[in-house]
């Protein structure tokens, strides 16, 4: 069997609702749309935790966050946890990470053979929440409404600097794989190119800002006042200051315009990586996946950012195109934990190679147009702005949300896609609601999980204090580079170097 290459193009905080491929009437995403037009679009794909680091650790490990204690943005991703990068390396792949993965801890590669950029966020325990003071804001790194109010246009930001570097490094790594293949080394590869956009701050480059007009920007479809929110949403609303710092219509519109502009900016990166695959002759042998770590409420329900299990926050785009993948759309619920077994399946691996139990299933049957009896996604949230774990079960058209101190929530997305009506106490849904409640009780122990979350928080805060005092080395990744062996140097024949770097190589009689 020919092992396909695997390239994951990951956005940060991209709700599928804001792409052309998923039906947005204004969004300009031609490269994502083109992949969807020739591949499989998953219409009910979810993150497993609506926050950056936990979501990414589930994506990498194929395990839910409660299994690996990946609770929040300062939870360590343990080096002993196998990832798809480990498994694909075992199956003969060369692996690379370009961009953000928000690894926390001293292991900053987690199985990737090559890591060609640093990360954009800290890799230590600085962002640890405190569930024993769950209502207190940590102003240094909590989201707030000032981010929305400052939305607009700029020639450069730290985020565009970063994403431009991620694109350049990813494209250069791919061209090197083309050079390897031209020299006779056709090793399959897996690359994750992970960008920070369209994550807030909502600030866009002029050329992308100018793709849109204010008059074309749609406003939130369904908003709620602080008093009308469910208890968990009210805690989130308070935590991000949205309940007491009002936004004008113009500020909301400007933020949504900048967000769409940054979606188009991310789309341009998708186009650049796909073109690089085309340039090296590997596009037809590469499974390309476009996805994200979570979405963005962007004013829906009066909420912003993520940290909840409503559709704009918890759903992610998932588009797969490449060899053996058919053109189509699937409604089966799935999630990011399903990608690890999907990659192993595509690469010819088998479940017996797994070092730990996983919580996902392969999506290759769906991608090939086959039936899949599983129609389920599981979510867990154990981070800031809640004193207890929050759980989600999406099965078929129903979504159930549970947090121990709060009333249960049940939504039928087939008739209520905006989740306006909580059906948990509706007699017509009594049987389903009771079944979900029983399942939550069987799956999770709220109190035990809460105790473990608090335990790790105390431990990490103590360690962070010691690290701030000078104990240990910084964990932030600094890509190694030996410039004395790059380009042309005195110890090499420049004509040999030129021949090595030229791609495609100059044809010879032998070729």
Query: Looking at the domain assignment, is residue 396 inside a domain?
Result: no
Q: Is 488 left (phi over 0), alpha (psi -120 to 50) or beta?
A: beta
List, for residues 273-284, the tens digit of each pLDDT value: 999 999 999 999
Pairwise CA distance, residues 400 & 411, whole Å: 7
pLDDT above 70 as % of the chain:
98
Pairwise CA distance, residues 462 & 74, whole Å: 13
**Averaged over 250-270, what is the pLDDT?**
98
Query: Looking at the domain assignment, is residue 510 inside a domain?
Result: no
Question: What are the backbone angles phi and psi of residue 69, rounded to the nearest 5°?
Answer: 55, 40
Pairwise CA distance, residues 254 & 213, whole Å: 10
Whether 102 is catalytic is yes
CATH code of residue 229: 3.40.720.10
Is the pLDDT reported for residue 473 higher than 90? Answer: no
The set of residues, in sequence order, having a beta carbon less than 8 Å from that of 475 and lying 6+ positions away, is 104, 105, 106, 108, 123, 124
Whether 110 is catalytic is no
Two tokens, residue 14: 């991209």
**Averaged over 88-100, what is the pLDDT?**
98
Two tokens, residue 393: 């079960």
Structural domain boundaries, residue 164 = 5-389+444-501
Pairwise CA distance, residues 22 & 315, whole Å: 12
Catalytic, out of 47, 52, 190, 334: 52
Query: Looking at the domain assignment, is residue 288 inside a domain?
Result: yes
Query: Looking at the domain assignment, is residue 59 inside a domain?
Result: yes
Query: Looking at the domain assignment, is residue 399 inside a domain?
Result: no
Structural domain count of the chain: 1
Q: What is the pLDDT of residue 511?
A: 53
Pairwise CA distance, residues 27 & 19, whole Å: 5
**Averaged over 242-260, what is the pLDDT?**
96
Q: What is the pLDDT of residue 139?
A: 65
Pairwise CA distance, residues 457 & 75, whole Å: 8
Confidence of residue 499 (pLDDT cuts 50, 70, 90): confident
List, for residues 402-427, the tens digit of each pLDDT value: 999 999 999 999 999 999 999 999 99
CB atoms within 10 A of CB 273: 25
Two tokens, residue 239: 């935590």
Question: What are the backbone angles phi and psi of residue 152, rounded to the nearest 5°?
Answer: 160, -135
Q: What is the pLDDT of residue 383?
A: 95
Confidence of residue 294 (pLDDT cuts 50, 70, 90): very high
Question: What are the backbone angles phi and psi of residue 10, rounded to the nearest 5°?
Answer: -110, 125
Query: Looking at the domain assignment, is residue 295 inside a domain?
Result: yes
Catalytic, out of 102, 143, 199, 402: 102
Q: What is the pTM of this model?
A: 0.95
Two tokens, residue 172: 């250069």
Strands (E), 365-480: 376-381, 390-395, 398-403, 409-412
Query: Looking at the domain assignment, is residue 469 inside a domain?
Result: yes
Is the pLDDT reported for residue 509 higher than 80? Answer: no
Two tokens, residue 197: 């956009």
Query: Looking at the domain assignment, is residue 116 inside a domain?
Result: yes
Whether 116 and 109 have beta carbons less than 8 Å apart is answered as: no
């Amino acid at each position: 069997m020919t092992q396909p290459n695997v390239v994951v193009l990951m956005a940060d905080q991209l709700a599928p609702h804001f792409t052309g491929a998923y039906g947005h009437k204004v969004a300009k995403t031609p490269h994502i749309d083109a992949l969807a037009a020739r591949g499989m679009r998953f219409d009910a794909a979810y993150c497993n935790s609506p926050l950056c680091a936990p979501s990414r650790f589930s994506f990498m490990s194929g395990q839910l966050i409660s299994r690996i204690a990946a609770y929040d943005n300062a939870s360590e991703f343990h080096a002993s946890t196998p990832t798809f990068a480990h498994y694909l390396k075992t199956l003969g792949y060369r692996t690379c990470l370009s961009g953000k993965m928000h690894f926390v801890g001293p292991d900053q590669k987690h199985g990737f053979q090559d890591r060609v950029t640093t990360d954009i966020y800290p890799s230590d325990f600085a962002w640890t929440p405190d569930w024993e003071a769950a209502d207190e804001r940590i102003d240094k790194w909590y989201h707030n409404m000032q981010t929305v109010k400052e939305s607009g246009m700029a020639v450069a930001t730290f985020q565009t600097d970063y994403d431009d570097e991620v694109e350049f490094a990813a494209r250069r790594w791919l061209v090197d794989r083309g050079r390897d293949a031209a020299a006779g080394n056709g090793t399959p590869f897996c690359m994750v190119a992970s960008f920070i956009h369209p994550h807030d701050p909502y600030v866009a480059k002029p050329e992308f800002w100018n793709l849109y007009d204010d008059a074309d920007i749609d406003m939130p479809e369904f908003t709620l006042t602080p008093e009308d929110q469910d208890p968990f949403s009210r805690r989130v609303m308070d935590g991000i200051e949205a309940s007491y710092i009002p936004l004008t219509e113009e500020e909301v519109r400007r933020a949504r315009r900048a967000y769409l502009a940054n979606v188009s900016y991310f789309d341009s990166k998708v186009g650049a990586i796909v073109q690089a695959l085309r340039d090296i002759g590997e596009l037809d042998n590469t499974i390309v996946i476009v996805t994200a770590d979570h979405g963005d409420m962007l004013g829906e329900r009066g909420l912003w950012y993520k940290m909840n299990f409503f559709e704009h926050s918890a759903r992610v785009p998932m588009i797969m195109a490449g060899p053996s993948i058919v053109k189509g759309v699937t409604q089966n619920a799935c999630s990011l934990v399903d990608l690890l077994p999907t990659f192993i399946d595509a690469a010819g691996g088998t479940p017996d190679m797994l070092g730990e139990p996983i919580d996902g299933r392969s999506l290759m049957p769906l991608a090939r147009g086959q039936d899949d009896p599983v129609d389920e996604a599981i979510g867990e949230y154990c981070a800031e702005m809640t004193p207890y774990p929050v759980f989600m079960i999406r099965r078929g058209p129903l979504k159930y949300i549970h947090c121990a101190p709060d009333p249960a929530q049940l939504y039928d997305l087939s008739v209520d896609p905006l989740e306006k009506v909580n059906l948990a106490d509706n007699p017509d849904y009594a049987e389903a609601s009771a079944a979900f409640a029983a399942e939550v009780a069987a799956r999770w122990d709220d109190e035990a999980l809460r105790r473990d979350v608090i335990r790790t928080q105390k431990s990490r805060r103590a360690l962070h204090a010691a690290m701030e005092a000078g104990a240990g080395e910084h964990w932030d990744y600094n890509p190694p580079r030996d410039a004395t062996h790059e380009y042309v140097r005195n110890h090499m024949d420049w004509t040999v170097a030129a021949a090595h770097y030229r791609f495609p190589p100059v044809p010879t009689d032998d070729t």
